[in-house]
Structure 1
Amino acid sequence: MNVVPYQRPKGILEEYEKSLAGKSEKTVDAYMRALRQFTTWIADRPGNGGLFRPEQLTKTAIEMYLALLQSEGYSVSHLARVKSAVGSFARWLMEEKEILRRNPIRGVEIPAQPLLAPRQLSPDQRYILRSLVERDGNPRSEALFALGYWAGCRVSDVSWLQIKNTNIGPKVGWLSVGYKGNKMRDIDLLNQARSPLYKYIQHGGRDPDSPYVFTSQRADRLTEAGIHHWFRTLKSMATKDEWELILDITFHDLRHDFAHRAREAGWTLEEIAYYLGHVTKKGMPAIQTTIRYTQASREQIKEKLKQIKG
């Protein structure tokens, strides 16, 4: 968003922040960041002269701001958090300051997210996640992330991966994966996936007595819930600015993004379907499932329009 530097409306946000003293530090920080961005956007609207005044907090402003966030790729859950923060601020302006006569949040609907919308990460999101893994420097983290990001593996593929099904060496590597639905498949690995996996198996401190590749201190394998917990912990290392871009990304989104990048690299839908394990009971590629993963976005079509020549 292109916005002017925020100008404080006579300390009104600072007053409101003090009223949140009973909430957790994380909640207060999330609310205030959302409100500062929202009020800055209002201040930048025509006729406002770079200033925010509480009476400018209207239903129209909220609806247009949420629509803007959606167009920029923010998730429905992020929009819901913004709506909650603005609604709380508006109630305070009504009940404590008696500036507003009614809460403008009433009747505001969050724009619906398209059904089966694919999750394609932005270059910034990819940069942040890959940087977090590198900053973490943990061999297990590097291997877990690599199998999602560079091999498009499911959480179950990773959690149930057994040593006997890994064929990893210093220069070549492939896996037999497919715990879900008991549909095993052999996949070759990019060096970006093979190398960290080989490093982890050789020097990552896994339990050598476990038949599973990824182990934990509590069990002989790292569970699906354990992988999700690891991914949340990895994201918690982000700075505040980084967190805004990656807070709602899941491990499964890495798989979706891999499918997009494979499609951009020229893979056919059949090839992507096989690699991701989208196959029917008869072993044929389940193209309809893969199409959901590689669904084109409006922004992609918009860029392609520029390539049409007369």
Structure 2
Amino acid sequence: MISLTLSQRVQFGYTAQIRYSKMATITKTDSGKWKAIIRRSGWPKVSKTFRIKRDAEDWARTTEDEIIRGIYIPRNHSEKLTIAQALLRYSEEVTPTKKPSTQKREYGRAEQLRSQLGRYSLAALNTEIIAKYRDKRIDEGKSASTVRLELALLSHLYSIAIKEWGLGLVSNPVMNVRKPSPGAGRDRRLVDDEEERLLRACNQHSNPFLGWIVRVALYTAMRQGEILSLEKSRVNIKRGVLTIHNTKNNDSRTIPLSDKAKAVFLEVLQHPIRPLDTNLLFYGEPGKDGKRRPYTLNRVWSSALERAEINDLRFHDLRHEATSRFVEAGLTDQEVASITGHKSMQMLKRYTHLRSEDLVCKIAKV
């Protein structure tokens, strides 16, 4: 073991201090700017260019101190990488791992973020800028849900950049921004003769798929994506159930079929014009690659609403209607949740707005 005298220790400490102070080299570039370069054993070379020499010296001094104390985080990449570039990388590496329906919506949100925040670097974007973006979107008439989802995408982008890309970001600025209140959920129900008019308008379409899809939604409370991705093998008429795997929550669930629902699926399965190149119940025309994808619903749904003269009705409202009918039929919350796939009773309550007249009939018997 080598022991050092006091003078040697002082000398060693003094030498170390001199070495620390000489880690940085500051030179003038051909363009007239000042470049600070810091080299230290065990650390990658760190450099940054400044317009003024004093800024280079200040940065070098601060960075050297952080290196010595072991708290330095390289920030060069996060300072150079713009939000637009980061979103592009995210769309290439992260978005493809999500469901196709989620990918499509996410590309739209990413484009919106890119158009308004894309020029900022990851390091430059702060809570003030993000809050202004939030307020601007609300002022443009966008719903709280839309803005929340856009901020959620931006927040996940930062999480990936910090955890996986190693860009040297200290924190996620989106976490400190207040999110718009989600507000009350929709309580749109079919009233008067709207169901009859809607089904009649759907039956007028040349393709029977539209009428079948709407009836399936009303009788099963399935989501649009779950219906459109449903395959023949998932429907068991004999047992009176269907099983789906491609759910919003990535969980499988088995749905019992009412007599009305079984009648619809029998029509679908017995449809004489059915190609052999797909297992989808509701399929579209082959794409350029020759592959059939799920039936496209948006345009024909809108046209049906116009023919039926029905306003402010979304396809997802049919799930709301079906779920409410299950409750009105006397099913317990647990039974309804097992059919609809709701994860929490709180979420289920948003879909179970019982009609006042039904409650009046029930309370009259108390």
Q: What TM-score do you get using the length of structure 1 for normalisation?
A: 0.51
User: RMSD of the alignment, in Å?
Assistant: 3.0
Q: How does 1:15-94 map to 2 (within 5 A)?
A: none
1:187/1:305 Cα in 2 relative to 1: closer, same or farther (>3 Å)? Answer: closer
1:161/1:218 Cα in 2 relative to 1: closer, same or farther (>3 Å)? Answer: same
Match of 1:231 among 301, 320, 324: 301
Q: Distance in 1 between matches of 2:283 and 2:320?
A: 25
Q: Distance in 1 between matches of 2:353 and 2:215?
A: 23
1:230/1:205 Cα in 2 relative to 1: closer, same or farther (>3 Å)? Answer: farther
Whether 2:197 is the aligned partner of 1:152: answer no
In the alignment, structure 2 segments of 5+ residues that lack a partner are 1-142, 144-181
Whether 2:261 is the aligned partner of 1:193: answer yes
Match of 1:288 among 321, 346, 365: 346
Match of 1:263 among 324, 327, 330: 327
Q: Which has the larger radius of gyration?
A: 2
1:261, distance to aligned residue in structure 2 (A): 1.1
Q: How does 1:63-212 map to 2 (within 5 A)?
A: 115-136=184-205, 138-168=207-237, 173-179=240-246, 180-203=248-271, 205-212=273-280
Equivalenced residue count is 181
Q: Distance in 2 between matches of 1:123 and 1:271?
A: 28
1:306, distance to aligned residue in structure 2 (A): 8.0
Q: Indicate if the aligned counterparts of 2:199 and 2:211 stay in contact, CA closer than 8 A.
A: no
Q: Indicate if the aligned counterparts of 1:216 and 1:222 stay in contact, CA closer than 8 A.
A: yes
Give the counterpart letter for 2:300 in structure 1: W
Give the counterpart letter for 2:352 in structure 1: T
Q: Distance in 2 between matches of 1:137 and 1:174?
A: 29
Q: SS in structure 1 opposite 2:283?
A: coil
Q: Distance in 2 between matches of 1:175 and 1:230?
A: 26
Percent of pairs with identical residues? 26
Q: Distance in 2 between matches of 1:230 and 1:291?
A: 30
Q: Indicate if the aligned counterparts of 1:166 and 1:176 stay in contact, CA closer than 8 A.
A: yes
1:234, distance to aligned residue in structure 2 (A): 2.3
Q: What TM-score do you get using the length of structure 2 for normalisation?
A: 0.44
1:208/1:143 Cα in 2 relative to 1: closer, same or farther (>3 Å)? Answer: farther
Q: Distance in 1 between matches of 2:258 and 2:202?
A: 17
Q: Indicate if the aligned counterparts of 1:206 and 1:214 stay in contact, CA closer than 8 A.
A: no
In the alignment, structure 1 segments of 5+ residues that lack a partner are 1-76, 78-112, 280-285
Q: Indicate if the aligned counterparts of 1:139 and 1:199 stay in contact, CA closer than 8 A.
A: no
Q: Which has the higher strand share?
A: 2
Greater RCO, 1 or 2 (C-alpha within 8 Å, sep 6+)? 1
Summarize deviations over 1:86-106 as a string: whole Å, max 9, x none.
xxxxxxxxxxxxxxxxxxxxx
Q: Distance in 1 between matches of 2:205 and 2:259?
A: 20
Give the counterpart letter for 2:233 in structure 1: K
Q: Indicate if the aligned counterparts of 2:224 and 2:315 stay in contact, CA closer than 8 A.
A: yes
1:152, distance to aligned residue in structure 2 (A): 0.8
